[in-house]
Amino acid sequence: MKELSDQAQSWRQEGARKSHWETIYATKGPKQVSGYTPHLRSSLRMIEQTGINKAGRIIDVGGGASTLVDDLLEEGYQNLTVLDISSVALASTQARLGDRAKYVNWIEADITTAELPREHFDIWHDRAVFHFFTAEEDRRQYIQRAIESLKSGGHLIVATFSPDGPPRCSGLDVIRYGVDMLQRELGEAFELVECTGEKHTTPLNTEQQFSYSWFKKQ
Ligand SMILES: C[S@@+](CC[C@H](N)C(=O)[O-])C[C@H]1O[C@@H](n2cnc3c(N)ncnc32)[C@H](O)[C@@H]1O
């Protein structure tokens, strides 16, 4: 896949990515970040439709300040992990959850270098994170971690901007994916279960077209 810009190269330097996201969350409230929505309905529906039981292990990659973890706790899921590069985002979600935060496993890490347990998770969920990886090496590292840390038969739910979505988000270039392109990127380890579009209205009232894709690991 053709590289989009020089951003991809400078971006991979130590600390640049983390400091970008720390600044985003430190200068905007969680509800002002463009991806914010009160409930991630498509994510919740797909997670429920996987049919995993409430003890199943779910990781929300780049969960940020999203309310997915609140809703999953509310629905009774017991093994939740939220991973994000931003300590500010994680602290904000923990503060919102209050006492309930102790029931969640928190990981502050860059997903492209994170050390994750092998064959561990039943569901890998990512809304609006993978599309920021404009460097091929980042995508490779991300996919390798998904393959290694998901159980065989585990589920990968990825929401990216779709081809008619915006080319940038949170001050960064993104890659917009149709499902075929995403399938090519993920490779043979993943088999498509479902793909659906979703229109997200940002806190500033602009529209972002998302593509939600659900794959099963072979
Ligand atoms: C657009 S926000 C989406 C947040 C959340 N998933 C949602 O749907 O509201 C992107 C999130 O990915 C996190 N992020 C970006 N790059 C990351 C990386 N390399 N590793 C882990 N998290 C990352 C950011 O800190 C931010 O919380």
**DSSP codes joined into one string, 51-118:** T--TTSEEEEET-TT-SHHHHHHHTT--EEEEEES-HHHHHHHHHHHGGGGGGEEEEES-TTT----T
* pTM (two decimals): 0.94
Strand order in the sheet with 190-201: 104-108, 79-84, 57-61, 121-127, 150-161, 207-217, 190-201
pLDDT in tens, the chain (218 residues): 444 455 666 666 668 999 999 999 999 877 877 778 889 999 999 999 999 999 999 999 999 999 999 999 999 999 999 999 999 999 999 999 999 999 999 999 999 999 999 999 999 999 999 999 999 999 999 999 999 999 999 999 999 999 999 999 999 999 999 999 999 999 999 999 999 999 999 888 888 999 999 999 99
Tell me which residue has its CA closest to atom 7 in ligand 1.
66
What per-residue confidence (pLDDT) applies to 36?
82
Spacing, Cα 37 to ligand 1 middle (Å): 14
Q: Token pair of 76, please? A: 């009774």
Spacing, Cα 12 to ligand 1 middle (Å): 15
Using DSSP's 3-state secondary structure scheme, residue 19 falls into helix
What per-residue confidence (pLDDT) applies to 205?
87
The residue count of the chain comes to 218
Collect all residues with Cβ–Cβ distance below 8 Å to 216 and sequence separation of at least 6.
153, 154, 155, 156, 190, 191, 193
Spacing, Cα 217 to ligand 1 middle (Å): 22
Q: Does ligand 1 lie within 6 Å of residue 202's CB atom?
A: no
Tell me which residue has its CA closest to atom 11 in ligand 1.
62
Alpha carbon distance 113, 93 (integer Å): 22
Please name which of 102, 58, 100 lies closest in space to residue 83, comparing C-alpha atoms.
58
